[in-house]
Every structure is written in structure tokens, then in C-alpha cells.
Amino acid sequence: MSGVVKTIQCADYFPSAEATPTVEAQSLSQMAKGMQGSKILQIAYAVQARIKAGAQVADFTVGDFAPREFRVPDALITYTTQALEDGHTNYPPADGVPELRQAVQAQARRELGLDYPLDSFVVGSGARPLLYGAYRCLIDAGEKVVYPAPSWNNKNFCQLVGAQSVVVPTTPGGNFMPDVDALKAVLPGARMLVLCSPGNPTGTMIREAQMRALCDAILAENAAREAKGERLLYLVYDQVYRNLVFGDVAHVTPVSVAPEMARYTIMIDAISKCFAATGLRVGWCIAPPFIAKQIKALMTHVGAWAPRPEQMATAALLNDPPAMTAYLDKHLSGLHDRLKLLADGLGAMKAEGLPVDVIAPEGAIYLSVKFDLEGRGGLADEDAVRLYLLEQAGCAVVPFSAFGDSKNRGWWRFSVGAVSLDDIRACLPRLRDALRAVGG
């Protein structure tokens, strides 16, 4: 090319952001008009901008990992590099490369005791598109989706597909896991139940007895529906944190406690949390084959598949149990050290009589913490509390309301993947001072 290219100022043709709604805004779909961005990320981005400007902040907001604190396995880097060198740079199959689907199949058999046919597995670019795929392939507009609050993103998925949200409140006394009787009461007429354990944002886990009772209720509900020729109820079970478990509570799957649930369960997993690989975007679902087939078809249209080199690398890692175990031991220890330090420090503040409460961590990368500050010291509402903690204590956290919870006021999620032990040690005295100033 040669010559001077004339520059067109395209912004001159767009309405300003402050303009009254225009014909352009009216041209959006109803879905787009109702869609909201992630409140969690809005808070996290604002905090990151504050940190870049030089503020001293312990960032407990986003469910991510700082590579300086938690690197992906060395083996995963080696395998990814090798895959690139071997030329794995073209489109992958829409349901994932066979090597990865076979590796996940073997892992499910080895670690969970679940033997699924290969056509039950679909790979995606992380867990998120597969969760959305389950919604999109099972739910018609107006149908009911049941989920507990707090929980991650279900409200938004419901809005995207036009589903009716049926929110089941939880309580601190129940470790923010849904009461089985409360769930059973709203299952009639529902098409989907969505659960996550270990939980986001709570860091708590469902017990085996709870899971068994819930599965019994789903099986009874579907037996009655099948007899009437009605559409069935499905359980979507998000277990991306299943390898991040602390203490004596064991992770359970619906199918392990009630094998008949294989017919009605879609399980979601990924490398994002257990291997600190959020940016590599490799996840998968395990589903009844007729559902997996439709999710695969959806992937052919939206292209939400994981990059081929990362798929090949993940397959190699999953087929290397000693490398996985060595990494997970260190990863889990680092997370637990941070969660325990934080929980112990906050527990000491509670013992001093300060307006704070905390639930001992059970799994994932999260801690549930209550600050009873609304109405004290001029802090009129939740947002005022959030800003006070940020500005006075350098403590950035996300409220449970960002996870669809309108009942448990004052509860916050602390995420420890992006902080060091020194960050926590520096933040705890600042938090104590801030709590004393308002509620001591």
C-alpha cells in the first residue's frame, strides 16, 4: 500500500454516553436491554484501577489467581509449548479433541468412580459456556430454574434464556447450603436445579446426606413426570472446585450417591481453579449423551471451544496423575494457609466483640465473612460499607448481593487467589482499626 490514508472520526456518528435513549438504544433486543454486566467484575475492575494508581489494597474481589502467587503447573506449560511446536494450532472439534475427552473420561473413572461413555463429554472454553449451554439447550422462555442464593451467575443465565428464577434462600446456620426441604418444595414445575459445591461465593460444601435426600426428591419427581409424559427435571452440578477441599468434609457427586441420577445430571468441571489456569480456558461437562450432543451442536455455532494447544496440554496433564498430585498438594496448602490466616484473624476480632463473623473454610478459594456495619458511623447501606472497607482498611471485597442474595445482609466474599500471606497480615490490623472506629 502507498499514499496517505484519510482518517474518519467514527465517534462523530455515535450518540454520547450521556444522551437520552435514542433510536439506537431502542433497536436493541429485549434480551440485551435487560442484560446486566457482572457486578463482581465491575467492583474488581474499579479496585484494580485503584491499585494501579498506587493505593495499598488487599484485593479479595475476583475469583482469580495472581500468577506471582499461584502459577499453573510447570507440566502444563511444558505440554502447551510442546503442543504449539507440534502444530496443534487449527480448529479443534466442537466437542473437544479426542485426547482430552478420553483423558477426562479416565479421570472421572479414576477419581470419582464414574464410568461414562465418551459421547457424554463436551469440552468448552472454561466452565462458563458449558453452564450457559445447559441453560440454552434445556430451558424454554418462561420455564422455572431453581437455585440457591447466594450463587454464581444463575440470575444472569436465567435472564439470557428468558427463564423464571426460583431463588431458594440460605442461612449462615446452614453454611449457606440450601435446605433440602426448601428445595423440594419448589421442584414441582421446575425444569432445572443448579448447585455448586464447594460453593462460590461461600467456600462451604454440601454434605452426603443432603445430596442423597435431594437426589431422592429429584428421582421421585421425575418418576411422576415420566408417568404423565411431562418434561423432566435436570440437575446442573458445578464442581469446578472439587479438588480444593479442606478438612473432613468429602466432595460428593449426585451420581456417586444415587447412580440413577446419571440420567438427570449435567456435571461441570474445568482446570481453571484446581490448576490456577483461569486464563487458559479449558472446561468440560459430563452429561447424558442426548444433551451432550445438543451442547456440542451449540458450540459449532458460537465457537466457544478451548484453544487446541491448551486442550492437548490438559489431556497430557490429566494423564499424568503424579504431576497432578504434586501440584495440587502445594496449591491446596497455599490456599488453605491464606484462608486459615484470614479466618483466624477475623475470628480473633469477633472474640474482641467487634462486629464481624466468619464461617470456617471448607473448600474452594473463598471465605464467608459478615461485617455488621450498616447503620453505624454514618454507613447508610452496603455500598457505603464496601467503600469504607476499601478506603479505610485497604480491603476490597464483594457483597453476597452480587451473587443474587437479598436476604443475608452484611455478608461478603473474600477470595484469596490474588493475595499473599503478607498482604493478609498487613490487611488484618487495618481491618481491626476500621471496625473499632465504627463498631467497637
Q: Quick check: is 34 in a domain?
A: no
Does a structural domain hold residue 233? yes
How many DSSP H helices and E strands does the chain contain? 15, 13
What's the chain's length in residues? Answer: 440
Could you tell me if 263 and 344 lie in one domain?
no
Q: Tell which of 305, 320, 335 closes a domain.
A: 320
Using an 8 Å Cβ cutoff, are 371 and 410 in contact?
yes
Give the span between the Cα atoms of 436 and 439, in whole angstroms: 5
Give the range among 10-14, 114-118, 214-218, 339-343 with minimum mean pLDDT: 10-14
Same domain, 244 and 218: yes
Strand pairing partners for 124?
Answer: 283
CB 135 within 8 A of CB 163: yes
Does position 47 have pLDDT exceeding 90, yes or no?
no
What average pLDDT does the chain have?
94
Q: Is the pLDDT of residue 347 over 60?
A: yes
Distance CA 357, CA 372 (A): 8
CA dihedral for 25, 28, 34, 39, sign (positive or negative): negative
Query: What is the maximal distance between C-alpha atoms in the chain?
Result: 75
> What cell numbers appear for 389 in the block?
472497607
- Examine residue 265 and state whether it is found in any structural domain, yes or no: yes
Q: Is the pLDDT of residue 27 over 90?
A: no
Do 224 and 365 lie in one domain? The reply is: no
Q: What is the CATH number of the domain that holds 144?
A: 3.40.640.10
For residues 124 and 248, membership in a common domain is answered with yes
Which residue, of 320, 345, 378, is where some domain finishes?
Answer: 320
pLDDT in tens, 419-438: 999 999 999 999 999 999 98
Q: What is the pLDDT of residue 55?
A: 80
Residue 22 lies in a domain: no
Same domain, 208 and 337: no
DSSP labels, 289-340: HHHHHHHHHHHHHH--PPPHHHHHHHHHHHT-HHHHHHHHHHHHHHHHHHHH
Residues 6+ apart with CB under 8 A from 113: 256
Q: Is 386 exposed, middle or buried (0-12, 13-18, 19+ CB in 10 A)?
A: buried
Give me the CATH number covering residue 395: 3.90.1150.10
394 falls within a domain: yes
Asked whether residue 20 is domain-assigned, the answer is: no
User: Is residue 147 located within the same domain as residue 214?
Assistant: yes
**pLDDT at residue 105 is higher than 70:** yes
Q: Is the pLDDT of residue 243 over 80?
A: yes
Instruction: Please indicate, yes or no, whether residues 114 and 50 belong to a single structural domain of this protein.
Output: no
Among 265, 292, 320, identify where a domain stops: 320
Does any domain span residue 10?
no
Residues 351, 242 within the same domain: no
If one counts the domains in the chain, the total is: 2
Are 188 and 237 part of one and the same domain? yes
pLDDT category at 33 given cuts 50, 70, 90 is confident
Structure confidence at residue 13 (pLDDT): 85
Give, for 358, the enclosing helix (H) or strand (E). strand 356-359
Predicted pLDDT at 1:
55
- Whether 7 is covered by a domain: the verdict is no
Q: Return d(Cα 100, Cα 82) in angstroms, integer.
A: 15
Q: Is the pLDDT of residue 230 over 70?
A: yes
Q: What is the pLDDT of residue 440?
A: 53
> What is the pLDDT averaged over residues 342-361?
97
User: Same domain, yes or no, for 293 and 146?
Assistant: yes
Q: What number is the average pLDDT over the span 271-286?
A: 98
Residue range 52-80, pLDDT digits in tens? 888 888 999 989 999 999 999 999 999 99
| CA pair distance 349, 355, nearest whole angstrom | 8
Domain housing 360? 39-70+325-439
Q: What is the pLDDT of residues 156-176, one digit of tens each?
A: 999 999 999 999 999 999 999
Q: Are residues 158 and 213 in the same domain?
A: yes
User: Is there a single domain that holds both residue 309 and residue 422?
Assistant: no
For residue 57, what are the CA distances in angstroms to 47, 370, 439?
A: 8, 19, 22
